[in-house]
Structure 1
Amino acid sequence: MKDQTERHRERLDAHVFVCTNARESEHASCGTVGAEETVAAVKDWLRERDAFWTAVSVGTTSCLGLCSEDGVAITIQPRNTWYSDVTPEDVPELLAAEFGPTADCIGDPDDS
């Protein structure tokens, strides 16, 4: 087992977690309202800016406690920002607000 904490901290500016939880219930869950499409939109936005697999990681997660029929839940850590009702169409605006429209500020300590 190797502790990679410091190595990862040095390169990582943020981690975008998208809820993909699906459950059989009368209540909404992110997995049934476009979670996979939203994950793809996040990855596409980062790839278009050459920021995928750089200082921003993307992952899926189970329930973030922000379920809605109107979209999925996203959290960006360690920024401690939380969003609900996110659709794939919302992703460009959300990520531009977090990282800048061209993602140039990702990993730049002067922009924090």
Structure 2
Amino acid sequence: MQRQTDRQRDRLAAQVFVCTNDRDADYACCADAGGEETLEAVKSWLRDRNAFWNPISVIETGCLGLCSENGTAIAIQPRDEWYSAVRPAEVPDLLESEFGPDAERVGAAYRRRQEASDSDAA
């Protein structure tokens, strides 16, 4: 077992969890509400801003407990922000409100770590 906490903290500023849970039940699930498409929209938005996997990771999850037939559940950590009924077309507005138009608002702590790392390398 290898602890990787410090390495991940240095690399990541946020994690976007996107539910794609599928279930055989009458109850709504994110898979039926566009979960895969929403996941791809999140990844695409971050890739377009050079923020995919560093500094923002995307994690496909099972149920987040915010089931809706109207869209997918998304959680953003460590911000502790939770959204339900997210449609793929709404992803750009959601992520821009969380991270800024160019994903520049990823967190002051992350920016300080990056600046310290950059000055150590110089």
Percentage of pairs with the same residue: 57
Matches within 5 A, 1:15-54: 15-54=15-54
**Which residue identity is paired with 1:77?**
Q
Q: Which moved more, 1:9-18 or 1:89-98?
A: 9-18
| Larger-gyration structure (1/2) | 2
- Alpha-carbon displacement from aligned partner over 1:30-64 (angstroms, at most 9, x marks no partner): 01110000000000000011111211000111111
What TM-score does the superposition give when structure 2 sets the normalisation length? 0.86
Structure 1: 5+ residue stretches without partners: none
Q: CA RMSD in A?
A: 1.5
Which residue in 2 is equivalent to 1:62? 62
CA distance in 1, matches of 2:74, 2:107: 20
Aligned residues: 111
Deviations 1:2-27 (A, max 9, x none): 11011111221110000111001111
Instruction: Give yes or no for contact 2:20–2:30 (8 Å, CA) kept in 1.
Output: yes
